[in-house]
Amino acid sequence: MYFCPFSAMRSGIFAGYRMLPLQRGVRLGPKAARLLYLTVLGGLTFLVIKSFEWTHEIREGFVLQSGGFWSYYYTAAGLHAFHVMAGMGVILWVANDAKKNQELHRVENVGIYWHFVDIVWIFLFPLLYIAK
């Protein structure tokens, strides 16, 4: 479970680096695209870990109706996962354009969205896994 924020942050750092090719004043769309693909890989890692975690919890008998905490846990983490999946789709779209040096302004926009989702997880993590 503690690997989750690492995967989220790992994808976050690639998303952070996404602007470097643009900041250097050179059209390095392909490089930005590669970093965006790595970001998607980080998101995918997060989703795989979540799927294993949920499978384990459900097999243990902890389901959505098992109590207030579990209701909150599945709803919050599930909604977060949906946002991650949506972000991954949009990032792939933007990366494909960036590869051709097109629509590079979208790189920053999608990055802001991705980091917003990251910030949500920063607060969900202690609420779901640490606070007792």
Partner 1 sequence: MTSTAHAPAHGTAHGSAHGPGDAHAPHRNYVKIWGILCALLVVSVVGPMLGIRWVMLITAFGVALVKAYMVAKNFMHLDIEKPIVHWILLVALALMVLLYGALAPDVQKGEGSGWKKDAGFHHSFVTSKPHEAGKHEKPENAEHGKP
CB of 77 to partner 1, least distance (A): 9
Under the criterion CB under 8 A, does residue 51 sit at the interface with partner 1? no
19 to 27, 34, 85, 127: CA distances (angstroms): 11, 12, 22, 31
User: Contact with partner 1 (CB under 8 A): which of 36, 65, 76, 92?
Assistant: 65
Q: Which residues contact 121 (CB under 8 A, 6 or more apart)?
A: 4, 5, 8, 80
User: Contact with partner 1 (CB under 8 A): which of 45, 47, 57, 96?
Assistant: 57
The residue among 15 and 88 lying less far from partner 1, judged by its C-beta, is 15
User: How far from each other are the two terminal CA atoms of the chain, in whole angstroms?
Assistant: 16
The residue among 87 and 111 lying less far from partner 1, judged by its C-beta, is 111
